[in-house]
């Protein structure tokens, strides 16, 4: 598994993955994203110093995307972590090494951020991924589970 920061050439793949039905069902925002809005968001994301967007690759194939949204205004500082797999590579055990490498990359830049994942209770795959990747259940909200990295 190799990770790299996302680039403009990744916009269309991330757009397709984002609008996948399963992804929308498990997303905090479950609506379909139109292409123009996605390109605006993606362009802003690439310029945003408080967001890391990683692409996981194996043998030149894009397997997924992992995002860290940094918030230095909270105490402790937090980074909201999310992950989305290329539908063609789901179920192959690739999310965990991609997440691990993304966490390692972020921690070499700044290890003072508390990593947080917000997950819908019905998203069993993400619960399994984060709970076996060093995250523990911190709190339950009305429609979300909050996991923190230890």
Average pLDDT value for residue range 63-85: 93
Phi/psi-derived region of residue 120, left when phi > 0, alpha when psi is between -120 and 50, beta in every other case: beta
d(CA 73, CA 19): 31
3 state DSSP class of 79: strand
Q: Which is higher by pLDDT, 22 or 119? A: 119
Q: Name every residue whose Cβ is closer than 8 Å to that of residue 104 and which is 6 or more positions away in sequence.
A: none
The topology under which CATH files domain 2-149 is: Aminopeptidase (3.40.630)
pLDDT in tens, 18-41: 999 888 888 878 889 899 999 999
pLDDT of amino acid 109: 83
pLDDT score, position 63: 98
- Structural domain boundaries of the chain? 2-149
Peptide bond into 76 cis (omega under 30): yes
Contact 127, 119 (CB under 8 A): yes
For 5-14, the pLDDT digits (tens) are 999 999 999 9
Q: Is the pLDDT of residue 132 over 90?
A: yes
Decide: pTM greater than 0.85: yes
pLDDT tops 90 at residue 148: yes
């Amino acid at each position: 598994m190799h990770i790299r920061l996302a680039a403009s050439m990744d916009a269309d793949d991330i757009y397709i993955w984002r609008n996948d039905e399963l992804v929308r069902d498990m997303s905090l925002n479950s609506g379909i994203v139109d292409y123009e809005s996605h390109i605006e968001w993606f362009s802003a994301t690439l310029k945003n110093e408080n967001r890391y967007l990683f692409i996981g690759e194996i043998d030149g194939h894009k397997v997924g995307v992992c995002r860290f949204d940094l918030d230095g205004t909270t105490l402790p500082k937090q980074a909201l972590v999310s992950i989305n797999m290329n539908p063609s590579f789901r179920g192959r055990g690739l999310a965990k090494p991609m997440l691990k490498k993304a966490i390692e990359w972020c921690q070499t830049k700044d290890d003072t951020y508390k990593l947080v994942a917000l997950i819908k209770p019905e998203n069993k795959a993400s619960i399994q991924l984060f709970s076996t990747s060093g995250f523990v259940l911190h709190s339950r909200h009305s429609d979300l589970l909050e996991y923190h990295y230890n």
